[in-house]
Structure 1
Amino acid sequence: MNFSTENLVFDPQIIRRFDVNGPRYTSYPTADRFVEAFDASAADLWLGKRNIGGISRPLSLYFHIPFCNTICYYCACNKIITKDHGRSAKYLKYLGKELALQSSALDGVDGEHEVIQLHWGGGTPTFLSHDEMRQLMGMTRKHFKLLDGGEYSIEVDPRKVDTATVALLSELGFNRMSVGVQDFDERVQIAVNRIQTEEETANVISAARDNGFKSVSVDLIYGLPHQSVMGFNRTLDRVLAMDPERLSIYNYAHMPSMFKPQRRIAEPDLPSADTKLQILALAIKKLTEAGYVYIGMDHFAKPDDELAVAQRQGRLHRNFQGYSTYADCDMLSFGISSISKVGPSYYQNVKTLDEYYDRLDAQMLPVFRGIELTADDVLRRSIIQALMCHFELSIESIESAHLINFREYFAAELEEMKEMERAGLIRIDREWITVLPPGRMLVRIISMVFDRYLRAGRQRATYSKVI
């Protein structure tokens, strides 16, 4: 049986019926539930507790590099538009301070904390000069031990990267690359202020292969101004010809009240909801026919890619970078607005450079909010993770891990899910909750049923549409 095509059914009527605003569940509780009462001292406390009981999980590290040379109008990231490398030089100096602070808060010997996963995101990490990249990786290796065979990834803007840069990234230890494309249609590119040729993109992917990168992921966005089914079809053909190991197809969420750059996008130029659904249907059909496996949410991967293998083996995980093969990591994050996960806690850094520099000058972790999970949070997080990553949930395993009677504890949730069951999105029996193929595109909606904070009636308006 072809797993890549039998695990997904695209039903526009079902999607229209259930499509609402909702979180992406890169964490639970979601970041908008973090509180400022959880501060730098609370983060320091949890970092110090990491090794208690002799269970020292391997680490995942994330570095937020916020700088970009130019602005892409669709972008909702925390970024700083500049051409001044003096700003990145100063930022790197302070990343070094934060590395020293976080690693010293960990119990154990500096330089021996084992790291299995590392990611540079942004902004545009490749804004950094070659010397700056060497400097950042050198500082990282001073405080942490990057294990052989780990997953070390970076987000790349093909407009700013040549073959020499790709060779350097390989030399520094990177083995995975995420390449932003969004759309190759020139009219769309002009409307979002991101002019990027097919040739630039193909050259970077080719250089990654020549330099031993294990995996290349390409990011596309549907719902951008002037997009059409035919135009996106051409983009998909061009991307598939480049043969990436992974593809992400994100829904553009037009929220100009929250993200100022989006105000430069004219709303009449955006495709209709029906056109967006047709583009998504086309993308799913083309990718599954090309042999890609639907991982979940907006992610596809080749059947032999580590993400697809991890999903088949029940090891897939979800974190702030999306889907991951390392479920048991604590994540330490560095730079403005980045979010860490340590034990049963999350904490987020301040969002502006001035605040970040001020906190670090005062020898404080630059944390401004976070949350310590309750037993209920941990329980619901495990359920949402299982649904988002594996499309099924063992009721018995949840009961034994959390010492609850599932049907009593979640009586209201199970009652609410009956409509989804009648619609064919899920199947609930004595032992399992299973997300059926027509429900897999809507797994966020299904997961939301278990979100206690949403159940408490808090608004959803700040979330994007699911599809």
Structure 2
Amino acid sequence: MDLIKRYDLSGPRYTSYPTAVQFDPALSPESLITQGQASADKSAPLSLYVHIPFCAHVCYYCACNKVITRNRDRAQPYLETVYREMKQLSQWYSDDRIVDQLHWGGGTPTFISDQQMHELMSALRSQFNLRDDDKGDYSIEIDPREASPETLEVLRKTGFNRISLGVQDLDPKVQSAVNRVQPLEQTQAVLDKSRQLGFSSINMDLIYGLPHQTEQSFDATLDVVIGMNPDRLSVFNYAHLPDRFRSQKHINSDELPSPETKLAILQNTIDKLLDAGYVYIGMDHFAKPDDSLALAQAAGQLHRNFQGYTTHAECDLVAMGVSAISQIGRVYYQNEHDLAAYTQAVTQQQHAIKRGVCLTDDDLIRGAVINQLICHFELNPAAIEKRFNLNFDQYFAAELAELAQFEDDGLIQRQGRHISVTPSGRLLIRRICMAFDAYIPKQQPTRGYSRII
């Protein structure tokens, strides 16, 4: 109980360092583009992301940038804007670099028609060097309520080989409370068809911390999901931020599980999935032992970016669409968040960049430390010293002193200089990473982030 009180803070999820809170709207887009081009490794492969913001239904828990509409005609004008942005991005960054990773997110990417999916993929192939050998990681987020067998066939034929199914919870009471009523049979049908079509990896998304969830109810959901045998599982911590996300105002905070219950659900989830043969990749991800994420982690090559855990550390991430975030060389930048502003920016300026950050040497060093911790649950100072030519103990003297509390609380262990995160510490890995975050004021509450527990 004391540990929960001490560590139930708000903090970043560290899909980047610096995090998006540090992105500066005062930086000129031209300087971000120039530095991105100058610092990019043009011999390395690329990762592409396309954001499709439309959803036909609102899920109350959702914190994604979305547009709720039943009007499918809104998709085509948006796609035309994306094509304009895509052409410019290709001129800046393509350099015939092979695209090893592609992801469509949202919103609901399958909101667009099958024909529009064909056209979008064709446009990407015309502007970037997409693979045609099925060896890349080409993935798409799917709402099983919006994916017919014909749509799945189209996705497979156009080059997708990985899918991620939004499930969240199978309990009818929880589904009703978050306005996401999704019968198990619907999800199972999409899963079966995807396997029949030869998708090489199927991920399922779950969320813990939703209204009416208990240890027992989520345990029952896990039993069914384990029986469905997905290749990967993402089990996200619900972040209740109704002041930031209007749809969350529909959720009654009195019906949410307590921090103690959430932590118990997470611990039970980890234990149960480990018993079922999954590898705990980190924070919110699990994978089969032969999955590329598990293999990358075992080899010390796992990475984390705006799409979560990834095996593609060497890739620059070129993102397009409203609110999309790119990572090019030593630059992060984000597009306009509002759909009208995004459309106007692309039309008038040939880009949609709203804010960004140029990484300093200190950012790169701290980012590497945080990546080691959040991807591998250990920290090898010698590796950081060798990579950046510094004295780790001197550079991080204050941070190492702060780790003493974590050691006393059983969150980390030290063997010589080597630091390893304990099973208890894995549940609070975001707080451990925060010790190395130069942008978070020490001993002060953090704002703009979700709660760790």
Greater Cα shift, 450-459 or 66-75: 450-459
| Mapped pair 1:46 → 2:35 | yes
In the TM superposition, residue 286 of structure 1 has moved relative to its aligned partner by 1.5
Partner AA of 2:434 in structure 1: M
Measure how far apart 1:456 and its partner are.
6.2
CA distance in 1, matches of 2:385, 2:215: 46
Any conservation in 2 of the 1:302–1:308 contact (CA below 8 Å)?
Answer: yes
Deviates more, 1:363-372 or 1:62-71: 363-372
Output the amino acid matched with 2:88.
Answer: L
Q: Per the alignment, do residues 237 and 459 of structure 1 end up closer, same or farther by CA in structure 2, a change over 3 Å counting? A: same
Among candidates 440, 450, 453, match of residue 426 of structure 2: 440
Determine the C-alpha separation between the residues in 1 that align with 2:16 and 2:268. Answer: 30
Gapped runs of 5+ residues in structure 1?
Answer: 1-11
Deviation at 1:207, TM superposition (A): 1.1
CA distance in 2, matches of 1:271, 1:436: 25
Structure 1 equivalent of residue 15 of structure 2: 26
The aligned residue for residue 116 of structure 2 is: 132
Which amino acid counterpart does residue 162 of structure 1 have in structure 2?
A: S
Give the gaps of 5 or more residues in structure 2.
none
Partner of 1:264: 250
Matches within 5 A, 1:114-193: 114-147=98-131, 148=133, 149-193=135-179
Offset from partner CA, 1:320-340 (integer Å, 9 cap, x none) = 110001111100000011100
Alignment match, 2:321: 335
Aligned partners of 1:50 and 1:106 also within 8 Å: no
- Residue 16 of structure 1: how far off its partner (Å): 5.0
Q: How many pairs were matched up?
A: 451
Distance of 1:46 and 1:56 partners within structure 2: 17
CA contact (8 A) 2:207 2:235 kept: yes
Secondary structure of residue in 2 paired with 1:461: coil
Residue number in structure 1 paired with 2:91: 104
Q: Give 1:459 shift.
A: 4.9
How far 1:184 moved relative to its partner?
Answer: 1.0
Change in Cα spacing, 1:285 to 1:192, as seen in structure 2 (3 Å) is same
| CA deviation after TM superposition for structure 1 residue 87, in Å | 1.1
The answer to whether the aligner puts 1:58 opposite 2:45 as a matched pair is: yes
Distance 1:370 1:320, change over 3 A: same
Provide the rounded CA distance (Å) in 2 between the counterparts of 1:34 and 1:262: 25
Aligned-partner Cα distance in 2 for 1:317–1:346: 16
Q: Pairwise CA RMSD of aligned residues? A: 1.6
State which of 60, 63, 71 in structure 2 corresponds to 1:84: 71
Matches within 5 A, 1:223-238: 223-238=209-224
Quote the sequence identity (%): 49
Counterparts of 1:224-373 in structure 2, within 5 Å, are 224-373=210-359
2:390 corresponds in structure 1 to: 404
When residues 106 and 50 of structure 1 are mapped into structure 2, their CA distance, relative to the original with a 3 A threshold, is: farther
What letter is aligned with 2:181? I
Contact 2:342 2:352 in 1 (8 A): yes
**Counterpart position of 1:7:** none
Deviations 1:357-398 (Å, cap 9, x if unpaired)? 111112431001000011101100010011111111221121
Aligned to 1:237, what secondary structure does the other structure show?
helix
TM-score, length of structure 2 as denominator length: 0.96
Counterpart Cα distance in 2 of 1:48 and 1:401: 23
SS in 2 for 1:180: strand
Distance in 1 (alpha carbons) for counterparts of 2:235 and 2:450: 15
Q: Secondary structure at the match of 1:453?
A: coil
Residues 162-193 of structure 1: CA deviation (Å, up to 9, x unaligned): 11111111111111111111111111111111
Q: Which amino acid aligns with 1:466?
A: I
Question: Do the aligned partners of 2:10 and 2:445 also contact (CA within 8 Å) in 1?
Answer: no
CA-CA distance at 1:137 after TM superposition: 0.4
Change (3 A) 1:31 1:379: same
Q: Residue 50 of structure 1 contacts residue 56 of structure 1 at CA under 8 Å; is this kept in 2?
A: no
